[in-house]
Homo-oligomer: A and B are copies of this chain.
């Protein structure tokens, strides 16, 4: 089925060109630059299957498992072009999280069973990490898994589970023993079928009144022991390991880039570029975005050269999320009285989803570890500040 080629042996320019031209040709226009940050599987199914058929659905999986086997440098190009072409984010927990986890830590049987079903779209995965009492402090999670013969019995609750209502499997962090001293110990990774008896999924609407995350409740849910990944009580490092170099993409300039282009569009339409006060504020945002690009490249280069990243990469995510907010705030400011509208603003040259972006921009500073947590981590890891 899939075209096999050693992509890493191409020059960056060649790869970029090949990748871009096929994606541009094949990604349906109706999916480009979507208002939704996270469309659900059904909206994207044909594009998903087209990618899978091409063998381009999984940028980093080795080719033997149906991926492209890209190294970090090529992966960055993949993500950059994806963003530049306005392609939608596809439900990516199976591809970005479960796949790499199983490839590194799964049994042969698990790999043989689950990986093809991710590529075929038969299984759509979500990620069961956060709990009501364990957000930034993930290690204090309490959803319990108790061994019972050849099964685990799971009881507890997850929250902020993205798109769980559109998924049929969940990668679940559970607690299998309690050691208050080292909370990270005693955590176990299970693969859980969401159609199992005892599972309840409740969508939660976000500020944009879209349900893109859920609560997931587990009441005496029986999970076969073969769904264990790695060893019992040793799931923490395993769950952390697969994050890998993907952290750099949390700080990629794509979101503020989109927001700035909307700001420019509205500013052109409303004549704001004739106002030096606006231009001065715009200039600051424009340069912030430009410099974010330079900083992103600084870490991308490190990744290319060393194949790895330090804790310091999260500076990108902090800067990026705060810039995204500043841009959407400025957009509302120049909208004047029109900032009162929920719906998109007409410009005579397409609409500007000012409020949609403003509300969306609240999320990035919170999710994936709040900016406060990130700063505290940087303080210790990079500056070596004492506790």
Kindly provide the distance from the CB of A116 to the nearest chain B CB, expressed in whole angstroms: 53
Contacts of A182 in B (CB 8 A): none
Number of A interface residues in the complex (CB < 8 A)? 5
Kindly provide the distance from the CB of A282 to the nearest chain B CB, expressed in whole angstroms: 10
Question: Which of the candidate stretches A18-26, A216-224, A272-280, A309-317 sits at the interface with the other chain?
Answer: A272-280
Quick one: copies of this chain in the complex? 2
Q: In whole angstroms, what is the CA distance A276 to B272 when docked?
A: 12
Q: Which chain A residues in 266-321 approach chain B with CB under 8 Å?
A: 275-277, 279-280
Q: In whole angstroms, what is the CA distance A279 to B279 when docked?
A: 13
Kindly provide the distance from the CB of A280 to the nearest chain B CB, expressed in whole angstroms: 4
Q: In whole angstroms, what is the CA distance A277 to B279 when docked?
A: 8
Q: In whole angstroms, what is the CA distance A276 to B280 when docked?
A: 10
Contacts of A277 in B (CB 8 A): 276-277, 279-280
Kindly provide the distance from the CB of A130 to the nearest chain B CB, expressed in whole angstroms: 24
Contacts of A275 in B (CB 8 A): 276
Cβ-closest chain B residue relative to A274: B276
Contacts of A279 in B (CB 8 A): 277
Q: In whole angstroms, what is the CA distance A279 to B276 when docked?
A: 10
Cβ-closest chain B residue relative to A277: B280
Q: In whole angstroms, what is the CA distance A275 to B278 when docked?
A: 12
Q: In whole angstroms, what is the CA distance A279 to B277 when docked?
A: 8
Q: Which chain A residues in 234-285 approach chain B with CB under 8 Å?
A: 275-277, 279-280
Q: In whole angstroms, what is the CA distance A62 to B280 when docked?
A: 55
Kindly provide the distance from the CB of A71 to the nearest chain B CB, expressed in whole angstroms: 45
A residues at B contact (CB < 8 Å): 275-277, 279-280
The 7 closest A-B pairs by CB, nearest first: A277-B280, A276-B277, A276-B276, A277-B277, A275-B276, A277-B279, A280-B280
